[in-house]
Amino acid sequence: MPDTLTAQVPEPAPIRPTSTAPATAPLASSQVWLMAITCGLVVANLYYNQPLLAEIGRTFGLTESKVSWVATITQVGYTLGLLLLVPLGDKWERKRLIMSLVMLVAVCLAVAAYAPTFGVLVGASLLLGFFSAVPQLLVPMAASLASDEQRGRVVGKVMSGLLIGILLSRTISGYVGLHFGWRTMFLVGAGLMLVLVAVLARMLPSNQPYYAGSYGSLLRSLGTLARELPVLRRSSIIGACLFGGFSAFWTTLVFFLESDAYGYHADVAGLFGLIGATGAFAASFAGKSADHKGPGFALRVGLALFLGGYVLMTFGGYHLLGLIAGVIVLDVGQQMAHISNQTRIFSLRPEARSRLNTVYMTACFIGASAGSLLGGIAWDHYQWPGVCAVGLGLVALAYVVNRFYGREAGE
């Protein structure tokens, strides 16, 4: 792949071999925590709008279906950022790139807070999602700065921050929106981003890139990496299957809880999200397991737990304790498999970690979208047993792929 690895940086920059990483100071614990907190605060921006949609709709006189475009377009923007911005982490110095994106996120939040029309809000939401790709830059950055012996643990801790941000964002946004209005939440978010930029400027370490080719060749190299690395393809397919099974569950949970089986309201489904805190602890544990026993072992454990979660919900889902137990086991399994996959792919090409993460996470998002679609169809036709069948089928496919596809000699 001659166009993706350069022997030197054009003058006047000094020559830098691409086979070794630029010298960096050891990654301090405080810097790992900063990365984790940054992931949580930035990813929260994607989810602030969800509890506020009804209030936004009343402000602009919109129907529920139309105002939901705010949430949808934010996710579209995030996906575009994943594809178009995250690869730049291999080309541009990551600290400056991350700080620039966080500043742009603050601007988008401020525009959303003062949006005079719904169209302006939708446009700001698209750009907000686009520039919020920061967590997917920080995860490979953390992997790049960590030692080989601690890489899994560091990645797991950073991912814990991301998961907690997703978990708490809806709760905080709902409270602020209820008492102070939806515009206030966006202003608070903008203020947090400005504070975060100042802290990052002081504490985030520099992380020099390896890649000196053009932006076009950078994007083309995504396909090259996927073709040349069977382990990346295998991890991506497994991630897509598990994200699909995970998404099928969470998409249909509210329907199940509101059905005759339980008769609960949508607010109870929101409380189930708090159970997702187990995933944050599992991410750290998964990273340690990947360090001590290898990512392959941790992945197999994650697959077994994911399967166990769906088995519990298939046979015990009609009892509240059985459903809760299934959710916990499913969430722990999902995070163990995810962290194990990321730990494995980050060891493939140290000079291309941002692009490796782009390929992997894009596959995961495609799988999540497909899982939501399949879960909805299964619910319409077969109710809860159909949803569980989708989840069991996807984890079975993930197991087969892990066992037989793209394995290297000695695995």
pLDDT tens-digit profile of 222-233? 999 999 999 999
- Lowest mean pLDDT of 172-176, 185-189, 311-315, 389-393, name the range: 172-176
| Domain range list for the chain | 29-209, 221-404
Q: Taking the CB of residue 336, how many other CB atoms lie within 10 A of it?
A: 28
The candidate with the shortest Cα–Cα distance to 239, out of 127, 158, 357, is 357
Tell me what pLDDT residue 5 has. Answer: 38
Q: For the domain bounded by 221-404, which CATH number is listed?
A: 1.20.1250.20
Q: Which residue has the higher pLDDT, 155 or 302?
A: 302
- The top-scoring range by mean pLDDT among 40-54, 180-194, 260-274 is 180-194
Q: Is the peptide bond before 12 cis (omega within 30 degrees of 0)?
A: yes
Structure confidence at residue 223 (pLDDT):
93
DSSP per-residue codes, 183-225: HHHHHHHHHHHHHHHHHHHHHPPP------S-HHHHHHHHHHH
The two domains 29-209 and 221-404 share their CATH topology (first three levels equal): yes
CATH of domain 29-209: 1.20.1250.20
Element (H, E) at 4: none
Q: What's the mean pLDDT in 214-229?
A: 91
- How far from chain centre, in Å, is Cα 194? 22
Query: What does the pLDDT read at residue 99?
Result: 96
Between 253 and 18, the more confident residue is: 253
The verdict on pTM exceeding 0.85 is no
